[in-house]
Amino acid sequence: LAKTTQPISMDSYEGQEVNITCSHNNIATNDYITWYQQFPSQGPRFIIQGYKTKVTNEVASLFIPADRKSSTLSLPRVSLSDTAVYYCLVGDIGNTGFQKLVFGTGTRLLVSP
């Protein structure tokens, strides 16, 4: 499983756009990139997943360059409730899905008023 590297923490203010970049230099051809959000004392929550280029859903966008060695999670106009830890994971979905998820350190995002 490809190892990921993220900033330990980030600070932002309400209404700003937040971009969290994740490095995964050893990503394999079959690996997908998935981001999870975790609030204190709760289980992680799926945010977005992608393979290449750009993916957008109702809560975030995921930008993946052509070499796929990094990815950027973009949160538009964050609010206080976006304060959480964000995890970037890479793994091979394959025919039977992710065999297992290995969580890195994550990025602790603090949104202030």
**Contacts with another protein, residue ranges (CB under 8 A):** 32, 34, 36, 38, 41-46, 49, 87, 93, 96-106
Find the shortest distance in angstroms from Cβ 47 to another protein: 11
Contact 61, 19 (CB under 8 A): no
How far apart CA 15 and CA 48 sit, in angstroms, is 21
To another protein, the closest distance from the beta carbon of 2 in angstroms equals 15
Instruction: Give the span between the Cα atoms of 111 and 85, in whole angstroms.
Output: 11
Q: How many residues does the chain have?
A: 113
**Min. distance of Cβ 14 from another protein in angstroms?**
24
Cβ 103 to another protein shortest distance, Å: 4
Instruction: Please state, in angstroms and as integers, the Cα–Cα distance from residue 43 to each residue in 23, 38, 40, 47, 50, following that order.
Output: 24, 6, 8, 13, 21
C-beta of 44 vs 70, nearer to another protein: 44
C-beta of 6 vs 70, nearer to another protein: 6
Is 43 or 113 the residue whose CB approaches another protein more closely?
Answer: 43
